[in-house]
Amino acid sequence: MKKQLCAALSVVLMLVLTAATPPSPVPHFGLSTSSPEAGSTVEAPGEVRLTFTEEPQEGTVQIRVVEAADADVHVMDAAQDTENPAVFYVELHGTLPPATYTVSWRGMGADGHVVRDTFEFTVSAE
Amino acid sequence: MSVAFSGITGWVLFGGLTLVTGSIAARWLILPRRSSREPELDARLTREAARLGVIGAVAILVGLLLFFGRQLVEFRDPFSPWSAEAALLLGTPWGRTWLRAIIGAALLTFAFVMARRVPAGWVFATPLALALGAFPAFTGHAAAADQYTPVFLLADTMHVWAAGAWVGGLAAVLWLELSEGREAPRLSLLATLVPAFSSVAMVSVAVLVLTGALASWGHLASLTTLFSTTWGRLLLAKLGVVLVVLGFGARNFRILTPRLGTDSGDRAMRRSAIAELAVMQVILIVTALLVRTSPM
Protein backbone atom coordinates (compact mmCIF):
# COMPACT_ATOMS: atom_id res chain seq x y z
CA MET A 1 0.00 0.00 0.00
CA LYS A 2 2.82 2.36 0.99
CA LYS A 3 4.67 1.60 -2.27
CA GLN A 4 1.58 2.32 -4.39
CA LEU A 5 1.09 5.59 -2.51
CA CYS A 6 4.74 6.61 -3.16
CA ALA A 7 4.40 5.71 -6.86
CA ALA A 8 1.16 7.68 -7.16
CA LEU A 9 2.69 10.70 -5.41
CA SER A 10 5.71 10.54 -7.74
CA VAL A 11 3.47 10.52 -10.81
CA VAL A 12 1.39 13.42 -9.45
CA LEU A 13 4.52 15.45 -8.71
CA MET A 14 5.88 14.73 -12.20
CA LEU A 15 2.63 15.91 -13.76
CA VAL A 16 2.60 19.04 -11.61
CA LEU A 17 6.20 19.81 -12.57
CA THR A 18 5.45 19.20 -16.23
CA ALA A 19 2.40 21.46 -16.18
CA ALA A 20 3.97 24.20 -14.03
CA THR A 21 5.71 27.09 -15.70
CA PRO A 22 9.40 26.21 -15.71
CA PRO A 23 12.03 28.67 -14.53
CA SER A 24 14.03 30.30 -17.29
CA PRO A 25 15.85 27.35 -18.86
CA VAL A 26 19.51 26.80 -18.15
CA PRO A 27 21.31 29.31 -20.37
CA HIS A 28 23.99 28.12 -22.71
CA PHE A 29 27.17 30.06 -23.06
CA GLY A 30 27.61 31.75 -26.41
CA LEU A 31 28.00 35.07 -28.17
CA SER A 32 24.99 37.38 -27.93
CA THR A 33 26.17 40.52 -29.74
CA SER A 34 29.43 42.04 -30.89
CA SER A 35 30.83 45.40 -31.83
CA PRO A 36 31.75 45.58 -34.67
CA GLU A 37 28.90 43.31 -35.73
CA ALA A 38 29.59 40.13 -37.65
CA GLY A 39 29.79 40.82 -41.39
CA SER A 40 29.73 44.60 -40.97
CA THR A 41 31.92 47.19 -42.66
CA VAL A 42 33.12 49.88 -40.29
CA GLU A 43 35.69 52.62 -39.87
CA ALA A 44 38.77 51.47 -37.94
CA PRO A 45 37.38 50.53 -34.50
CA GLY A 46 39.26 51.27 -31.29
CA GLU A 47 38.21 48.00 -29.71
CA VAL A 48 36.36 44.76 -30.32
CA ARG A 49 33.63 44.21 -27.74
CA LEU A 50 31.80 40.89 -27.25
CA THR A 51 28.65 40.41 -25.17
CA PHE A 52 28.07 36.81 -24.13
CA THR A 53 24.78 35.17 -23.18
CA GLU A 54 26.05 34.60 -19.64
CA GLU A 55 29.08 35.36 -17.52
CA PRO A 56 31.83 32.93 -18.59
CA GLN A 57 34.04 31.08 -16.13
CA GLU A 58 36.85 33.22 -14.81
CA GLY A 59 40.02 33.21 -16.91
CA THR A 60 38.57 31.33 -19.88
CA VAL A 61 37.83 34.07 -22.42
CA GLN A 62 40.30 34.68 -25.18
CA ILE A 63 39.78 36.97 -28.16
CA ARG A 64 42.04 37.23 -31.18
CA VAL A 65 41.75 39.68 -34.04
CA VAL A 66 43.51 38.41 -37.12
CA GLU A 67 43.89 40.08 -40.48
CA ALA A 68 42.51 37.55 -42.91
CA ALA A 69 45.07 38.25 -45.66
CA ASP A 70 48.34 37.86 -43.73
CA ALA A 71 47.15 36.16 -40.55
CA ASP A 72 48.80 38.90 -38.53
CA VAL A 73 47.52 38.70 -34.96
CA HIS A 74 46.75 42.19 -33.72
CA VAL A 75 45.42 41.55 -30.27
CA MET A 76 45.41 38.71 -27.77
CA ASP A 77 44.37 39.71 -24.26
CA ALA A 78 40.72 40.20 -23.41
CA ALA A 79 39.54 42.40 -20.54
CA GLN A 80 36.27 42.03 -18.65
CA ASP A 81 33.88 44.97 -18.49
CA THR A 82 33.64 46.21 -14.91
CA GLU A 83 29.90 46.88 -15.12
CA ASN A 84 28.70 43.86 -17.09
CA PRO A 85 30.61 40.62 -16.37
CA ALA A 86 29.22 39.06 -19.56
CA VAL A 87 31.04 41.65 -21.69
CA PHE A 88 34.69 41.28 -22.77
CA TYR A 89 36.71 43.54 -25.03
CA VAL A 90 40.13 43.91 -26.60
CA GLU A 91 41.69 47.28 -27.29
CA LEU A 92 43.19 47.61 -30.73
CA HIS A 93 46.60 49.25 -30.70
CA GLY A 94 46.94 51.85 -33.39
CA THR A 95 44.58 52.20 -36.35
CA LEU A 96 43.68 49.05 -38.20
CA PRO A 97 44.52 49.38 -41.90
CA PRO A 98 41.66 48.70 -44.33
CA ALA A 99 41.19 44.94 -44.63
CA THR A 100 38.92 42.11 -43.59
CA TYR A 101 39.54 40.90 -40.04
CA THR A 102 38.61 37.67 -38.36
CA VAL A 103 37.68 37.73 -34.69
CA SER A 104 38.11 34.35 -33.03
CA TRP A 105 36.95 33.88 -29.47
CA ARG A 106 36.79 31.15 -26.87
CA GLY A 107 35.18 30.85 -23.47
CA MET A 108 33.77 28.34 -21.01
CA GLY A 109 30.26 28.52 -19.57
CA ALA A 110 29.33 27.76 -15.97
CA ASP A 111 28.33 24.25 -17.11
CA GLY A 112 31.89 23.54 -18.30
CA HIS A 113 31.03 23.67 -22.00
CA VAL A 114 33.84 25.22 -24.02
CA VAL A 115 32.53 27.29 -26.90
CA ARG A 116 34.63 28.86 -29.66
CA ASP A 117 33.63 30.62 -32.82
CA THR A 118 34.77 33.23 -35.35
CA PHE A 119 33.24 36.12 -37.26
CA GLU A 120 34.53 38.69 -39.69
CA PHE A 121 34.29 42.44 -40.08
CA THR A 122 35.81 44.75 -42.63
CA VAL A 123 37.58 48.06 -42.05
CA SER A 124 36.71 50.44 -44.86
CA ALA A 125 39.22 52.58 -46.73
CA GLU A 126 37.55 55.85 -45.67
CA MET B 1 36.06 16.21 -29.70
CA SER B 2 34.33 13.11 -31.02
CA VAL B 3 31.01 11.94 -29.67
CA ALA B 4 32.49 8.46 -29.14
CA PHE B 5 35.28 9.80 -26.92
CA SER B 6 32.78 11.89 -24.94
CA GLY B 7 30.60 8.81 -24.51
CA ILE B 8 33.51 6.63 -23.36
CA THR B 9 34.86 9.29 -20.97
CA GLY B 10 31.45 9.82 -19.37
CA TRP B 11 30.77 6.08 -19.19
CA VAL B 12 34.04 5.40 -17.35
CA LEU B 13 33.41 8.28 -14.93
CA PHE B 14 29.73 7.51 -14.32
CA GLY B 15 30.50 3.80 -14.18
CA GLY B 16 33.07 4.46 -11.46
CA LEU B 17 30.65 6.67 -9.55
CA THR B 18 27.93 4.01 -9.68
CA LEU B 19 30.33 1.28 -8.54
CA VAL B 20 31.57 3.21 -5.49
CA THR B 21 27.99 4.20 -4.56
CA GLY B 22 26.89 0.61 -5.10
CA SER B 23 29.70 -0.58 -2.85
CA ILE B 24 28.61 1.89 -0.15
CA ALA B 25 24.97 0.80 -0.60
CA ALA B 26 26.03 -2.83 -0.26
CA ARG B 27 27.94 -2.11 2.95
CA TRP B 28 25.29 -0.02 4.73
CA LEU B 29 21.95 -0.91 3.13
CA ILE B 30 22.04 -4.31 1.42
CA LEU B 31 24.28 -6.57 3.54
CA PRO B 32 22.75 -5.53 6.90
CA ARG B 33 19.27 -6.40 5.49
CA ARG B 34 20.16 -9.95 4.50
CA SER B 35 17.73 -12.33 6.16
CA SER B 36 20.39 -14.78 7.35
CA ARG B 37 23.18 -13.73 9.69
CA GLU B 38 26.48 -15.51 9.23
CA PRO B 39 29.29 -13.40 10.75
CA GLU B 40 32.15 -15.01 8.80
CA LEU B 41 30.31 -14.79 5.50
CA ASP B 42 29.18 -11.23 6.23
CA ALA B 43 32.77 -10.17 6.92
CA ARG B 44 33.91 -11.77 3.66
CA LEU B 45 31.14 -10.10 1.69
CA THR B 46 31.95 -6.72 3.25
CA ARG B 47 35.57 -7.14 2.11
CA GLU B 48 34.34 -8.04 -1.38
CA ALA B 49 32.15 -4.91 -1.41
CA ALA B 50 35.28 -2.89 -0.56
CA ARG B 51 37.12 -4.57 -3.43
CA LEU B 52 34.36 -3.45 -5.79
CA GLY B 53 34.77 0.03 -4.30
CA VAL B 54 38.49 -0.02 -5.17
CA ILE B 55 37.64 -0.87 -8.79
CA GLY B 56 35.08 1.94 -8.89
CA ALA B 57 37.48 4.48 -7.35
CA VAL B 58 40.19 3.58 -9.87
CA ALA B 59 37.61 3.93 -12.68
CA ILE B 60 36.77 7.41 -11.34
CA LEU B 61 40.48 8.33 -11.40
CA VAL B 62 40.80 7.12 -15.01
CA GLY B 63 37.52 8.83 -15.96
CA LEU B 64 38.64 12.11 -14.41
CA LEU B 65 41.97 11.99 -16.27
CA LEU B 66 40.14 11.34 -19.56
CA PHE B 67 37.69 14.11 -18.65
CA PHE B 68 40.55 16.56 -18.14
CA GLY B 69 42.16 15.50 -21.42
CA ARG B 70 38.91 16.03 -23.28
CA GLN B 71 38.37 19.42 -21.66
CA LEU B 72 41.94 20.48 -22.44
CA VAL B 73 41.64 19.50 -26.11
CA GLU B 74 38.43 21.54 -26.37
CA PHE B 75 39.84 24.46 -24.40
CA ARG B 76 43.30 24.70 -25.89
CA ASP B 77 44.40 27.62 -28.00
CA PRO B 78 46.37 26.12 -30.91
CA PHE B 79 48.94 28.94 -30.64
CA SER B 80 49.76 28.20 -26.98
CA PRO B 81 51.82 25.34 -25.55
CA TRP B 82 49.86 22.49 -23.96
CA SER B 83 51.46 23.04 -20.55
CA ALA B 84 50.44 26.72 -20.46
CA GLU B 85 46.87 25.87 -21.44
CA ALA B 86 46.71 23.03 -18.88
CA ALA B 87 47.85 25.46 -16.16
CA LEU B 88 45.29 28.01 -17.34
CA LEU B 89 42.53 25.38 -17.29
CA LEU B 90 43.47 24.25 -13.77
CA GLY B 91 43.14 27.86 -12.61
CA THR B 92 39.51 28.13 -13.73
CA PRO B 93 36.58 27.24 -11.42
CA TRP B 94 36.11 24.09 -13.54
CA GLY B 95 39.78 23.19 -13.05
CA ARG B 96 39.64 23.76 -9.29
CA THR B 97 36.56 21.51 -9.01
CA TRP B 98 38.35 18.87 -11.09
CA LEU B 99 41.43 19.08 -8.84
CA ARG B 100 39.29 18.57 -5.73
CA ALA B 101 37.62 15.60 -7.42
CA ILE B 102 40.86 13.89 -8.40
CA ILE B 103 42.29 14.33 -4.91
CA GLY B 104 39.01 12.96 -3.52
CA ALA B 105 39.17 9.97 -5.89
CA ALA B 106 42.75 9.19 -4.84
CA LEU B 107 41.76 9.35 -1.16
CA LEU B 108 38.70 7.22 -1.90
CA THR B 109 40.87 4.52 -3.50
CA PHE B 110 43.02 4.50 -0.37
CA ALA B 111 39.94 4.41 1.89
CA PHE B 112 38.48 1.39 0.06
CA VAL B 113 41.84 -0.41 0.21
CA MET B 114 41.80 0.31 3.95
CA ALA B 115 38.17 -0.88 4.22
CA ARG B 116 39.24 -4.32 2.98
CA ARG B 117 41.34 -4.65 6.14
CA VAL B 118 39.70 -2.51 8.81
CA PRO B 119 36.04 -1.45 9.14
CA ALA B 120 37.16 2.15 9.79
CA GLY B 121 37.98 2.44 6.08
CA TRP B 122 34.24 2.58 5.37
CA VAL B 123 33.89 5.63 7.61
CA PHE B 124 36.32 7.49 5.34
CA ALA B 125 35.10 5.97 2.08
CA THR B 126 31.41 6.79 2.58
CA PRO B 127 31.57 10.62 2.76
CA LEU B 128 34.23 10.71 0.04
CA ALA B 129 32.09 8.62 -2.33
CA LEU B 130 29.03 10.76 -1.63
CA ALA B 131 31.02 13.97 -2.14
CA LEU B 132 32.34 12.72 -5.48
CA GLY B 133 28.72 12.15 -6.51
CA ALA B 134 28.38 15.93 -6.55
CA PHE B 135 31.11 16.36 -9.22
CA PRO B 136 28.79 16.03 -12.26
CA ALA B 137 26.38 18.57 -10.75
CA PHE B 138 29.07 21.16 -10.04
CA THR B 139 30.61 20.82 -13.52
CA GLY B 140 27.36 20.46 -15.46
CA HIS B 141 24.10 22.12 -16.40
CA ALA B 142 22.91 22.48 -12.79
CA ALA B 143 25.82 24.83 -12.05
CA ALA B 144 24.69 27.13 -14.88
CA ALA B 145 21.10 27.52 -13.67
CA ASP B 146 20.03 31.15 -13.32
CA GLN B 147 17.42 30.42 -10.66
CA TYR B 148 17.22 27.90 -7.80
CA THR B 149 20.84 26.86 -8.40
CA PRO B 150 21.23 25.12 -4.99
CA VAL B 151 18.04 23.14 -5.65
CA PHE B 152 19.28 21.93 -9.05
CA LEU B 153 22.74 21.14 -7.65
CA LEU B 154 21.18 19.06 -4.85
CA ALA B 155 18.75 17.36 -7.26
CA ASP B 156 21.54 16.40 -9.69
CA THR B 157 23.71 15.12 -6.84
CA MET B 158 20.83 13.05 -5.45
CA HIS B 159 20.22 11.75 -8.98
CA VAL B 160 23.81 10.45 -9.11
CA TRP B 161 23.50 8.89 -5.65
CA ALA B 162 20.21 7.20 -6.53
CA ALA B 163 21.57 5.95 -9.87
CA GLY B 164 24.60 4.64 -7.99
CA ALA B 165 22.47 2.83 -5.42
CA TRP B 166 20.33 1.30 -8.19
CA VAL B 167 22.86 0.46 -10.94
CA GLY B 168 25.83 0.08 -8.58
CA GLY B 169 23.72 -1.80 -6.04
CA LEU B 170 22.77 -4.35 -8.68
CA ALA B 171 26.42 -4.58 -9.76
CA ALA B 172 27.37 -5.14 -6.12
CA VAL B 173 24.79 -7.92 -5.70
CA LEU B 174 26.16 -9.71 -8.78
CA TRP B 175 29.75 -9.09 -7.71
CA LEU B 176 29.11 -10.57 -4.25
CA GLU B 177 27.25 -13.55 -5.71
CA LEU B 178 29.97 -14.30 -8.26
CA SER B 179 32.91 -13.64 -5.91
CA GLU B 180 31.45 -15.89 -3.22
CA GLY B 181 31.05 -18.57 -5.86
CA ARG B 182 34.77 -18.23 -6.59
CA GLU B 183 35.73 -18.51 -2.91
CA ALA B 184 33.97 -21.79 -2.31
CA PRO B 185 31.25 -23.51 -4.33
CA ARG B 186 28.09 -23.20 -2.27
CA LEU B 187 24.47 -22.29 -2.46
CA SER B 188 23.67 -19.02 -4.21
CA LEU B 189 23.44 -15.90 -2.05
CA LEU B 190 20.81 -14.33 -4.27
CA ALA B 191 17.92 -15.52 -2.10
CA THR B 192 19.14 -13.24 0.71
CA LEU B 193 20.77 -10.45 -1.33
CA VAL B 194 18.03 -9.74 -3.88
CA PRO B 195 15.18 -9.02 -1.42
CA ALA B 196 17.52 -6.70 0.50
CA PHE B 197 18.46 -4.94 -2.75
CA SER B 198 14.86 -4.66 -3.97
CA SER B 199 13.81 -2.12 -1.33
CA VAL B 200 16.97 -0.05 -2.03
CA ALA B 201 16.20 -0.19 -5.77
CA MET B 202 12.60 0.94 -5.30
CA VAL B 203 13.54 3.98 -3.21
CA SER B 204 16.35 4.79 -5.68
CA VAL B 205 14.02 4.65 -8.69
CA ALA B 206 11.55 6.98 -6.92
CA VAL B 207 14.39 9.46 -6.20
CA LEU B 208 15.63 9.14 -9.80
CA VAL B 209 12.16 9.89 -11.21
CA LEU B 210 11.65 12.92 -8.98
CA THR B 211 15.12 14.45 -9.41
CA GLY B 212 15.13 13.65 -13.14
CA ALA B 213 11.74 15.34 -13.56
CA LEU B 214 12.97 18.37 -11.62
CA ALA B 215 16.14 18.67 -13.74
CA SER B 216 14.17 18.28 -16.98
CA TRP B 217 11.70 20.92 -15.80
CA GLY B 218 14.58 23.31 -15.19
CA HIS B 219 16.45 22.57 -18.40
CA LEU B 220 13.62 22.43 -20.93
CA ALA B 221 12.29 25.72 -22.26
CA SER B 222 9.05 23.94 -23.27
CA LEU B 223 7.78 20.42 -23.89
CA THR B 224 8.28 20.86 -27.64
CA THR B 225 12.04 21.12 -27.10
CA LEU B 226 11.87 17.46 -26.07
CA PHE B 227 11.45 16.68 -29.77
CA SER B 228 13.15 19.65 -31.44
CA THR B 229 16.56 19.63 -29.71
CA THR B 230 19.32 17.03 -29.52
CA TRP B 231 19.20 17.28 -25.72
CA GLY B 232 15.47 16.56 -25.71
CA ARG B 233 15.80 13.60 -28.06
CA LEU B 234 18.66 12.17 -25.97
CA LEU B 235 16.48 12.54 -22.88
CA LEU B 236 13.65 10.65 -24.62
CA ALA B 237 16.12 7.93 -25.63
CA LYS B 238 17.32 7.70 -22.04
CA LEU B 239 13.74 7.44 -20.75
CA GLY B 240 13.06 4.69 -23.30
CA VAL B 241 16.01 2.62 -22.08
CA VAL B 242 15.03 3.32 -18.44
CA LEU B 243 11.61 1.84 -19.20
CA VAL B 244 13.28 -1.31 -20.57
CA VAL B 245 15.36 -1.60 -17.38
CA LEU B 246 12.27 -1.03 -15.23
CA GLY B 247 10.67 -3.88 -17.17
CA PHE B 248 13.60 -6.11 -16.22
CA GLY B 249 13.27 -5.00 -12.60
CA ALA B 250 9.53 -5.71 -12.50
CA ARG B 251 10.08 -9.17 -14.01
CA ASN B 252 12.85 -9.91 -11.51
CA PHE B 253 10.69 -8.75 -8.61
CA ARG B 254 7.38 -10.38 -9.59
CA ILE B 255 8.44 -13.57 -11.33
CA LEU B 256 12.04 -14.47 -10.48
CA THR B 257 12.35 -13.39 -6.83
CA PRO B 258 9.71 -15.90 -5.63
CA ARG B 259 11.74 -18.66 -7.36
CA LEU B 260 14.99 -17.79 -5.60
CA GLY B 261 16.53 -20.54 -3.53
CA THR B 262 16.11 -23.13 -6.29
CA ASP B 263 18.88 -23.88 -8.80
CA SER B 264 16.81 -22.86 -11.83
CA GLY B 265 15.46 -19.75 -10.09
CA ASP B 266 18.94 -18.56 -9.05
CA ARG B 267 20.31 -19.21 -12.53
CA ALA B 268 17.44 -17.30 -14.16
CA MET B 269 17.91 -14.36 -11.77
CA ARG B 270 21.67 -14.27 -12.43
CA ARG B 271 21.11 -14.18 -16.18
CA SER B 272 18.37 -11.57 -15.91
CA ALA B 273 20.44 -9.36 -13.59
CA ILE B 274 23.45 -9.51 -15.94
CA ALA B 275 21.23 -8.53 -18.89
CA GLU B 276 19.68 -5.71 -16.83
CA LEU B 277 23.13 -4.43 -15.88
CA ALA B 278 24.22 -4.52 -19.54
CA VAL B 279 21.21 -2.42 -20.60
CA MET B 280 21.95 -0.01 -17.73
CA GLN B 281 25.30 0.70 -19.41
CA VAL B 282 23.37 2.20 -22.33
CA ILE B 283 21.72 4.60 -19.86
CA LEU B 284 25.14 5.64 -18.57
CA ILE B 285 26.44 6.27 -22.10
CA VAL B 286 23.34 8.27 -23.10
CA THR B 287 23.67 10.27 -19.86
CA ALA B 288 27.32 10.96 -20.69
CA LEU B 289 26.21 12.45 -24.02
CA LEU B 290 23.29 14.28 -22.40
CA VAL B 291 25.51 16.22 -20.01
CA ARG B 292 27.74 17.29 -22.93
CA THR B 293 24.80 18.64 -24.95
CA SER B 294 23.20 22.03 -24.59
CA PRO B 295 19.55 21.83 -23.51
CA MET B 296 18.75 24.76 -25.81
> In which band, very low, low, confident or very high, does the pLDDT at A12 lie, cut at 50, 70 and 90?
low
| The pLDDT of residue B105 | 98
| The pLDDT of residue A118 | 94
**Among chain A residues, CA nearest to B76:** A106
Q: In Å, what is the CA distance from B91 to each residue of B82, B98, B203? A: 14, 10, 39
| The pLDDT of residue A19 | 46
- Give the type of residue at B291: V
Distance of alpha carbon B141 from alpha carbon B153, whole angstroms: 9
A57 touches chain B (CB under 8 A): yes
| The pLDDT of residue B204 | 97
| The pLDDT of residue B166 | 97
Pick from B187, B155, B190, B156: which is nearest to B173 by CA? Answer: B190
What pLDDT, in 10s, does the model give residues A22-69?
555 555 889 999 999 999 999 999 999 999 999 999 999 999 888 876
Distance of alpha carbon B101 from alpha carbon A115, whole angstroms: 23
Distance of alpha carbon A112 from alpha carbon A107, whole angstroms: 10
The pLDDT profile of chain B, 296 residues, written as one tens digit per residue, is: 578 888 999 999 999 999 999 999 999 999 999 877 788 899 999 999 999 999 999 999 999 999 999 999 999 988 889 999 999 999 999 999 999 999 999 999 999 999 999 999 999 999 999 999 999 999 998 888 878 899 999 999 999 999 999 999 999 999 999 987 665 556 689 999 999 999 999 999 999 999 999 998 888 877 888 888 898 999 999 999 999 999 999 999 999 999 998 889 999 999 999 999 999 999 999 999 999 888 77
A12 touches chain B (CB under 8 A): no
A5: burial class by Cβ within 10 Å (0-12, 13-18, 19+)?
exposed
Q: Do B294 and A28 touch (CB under 8 A)?
A: yes
Pick from B18, B30, B8: which is nearest to B163 by CA? Answer: B18
* 8 A C-beta contact, residue B101 and residue B132: yes
Q: CA angle, corner B201, sides to B198 and B202, nearest 5?
A: 90
3-state secondary structure (DSSP) of residue A65: strand
Phi, psi of B118, deg, nearest 5: -130, 140
3-state secondary structure (DSSP) of residue A46: coil
| The pLDDT of residue A4 | 53
Complex-level ipTM: 0.81
Which of B94, B152, B156 has the most A C-beta neighbours within 10 Å, making it the best mutation to test the interface with A? B94
- Quote the pTM value: 0.89
Phi, psi of A107, deg, nearest 5: -165, 165
Q: Do B218 and A22 touch (CB under 8 A)?
A: yes
Distance of alpha carbon A3 from alpha carbon B254, whole angstroms: 14
**Among chain A residues, CA nearest to B89:** A60
Q: Do A27 and B144 touch (CB under 8 A)?
A: yes
Which of B141, B210, B224, B228 has the most A C-beta neighbours within 10 Å, making it the best mutation to test the interface with A? B141
Q: Using CA of residue B82, residue B87, residue B91, residue B93, what is the dihedral sign?
A: positive
What pLDDT, in 10s, does the model give residues A65-93?
888 766 666 656 789 999 999 999 998 87
Q: Tell me the nearest-neighbour CA distance from A117 into chain B, angstroms.
A: 12
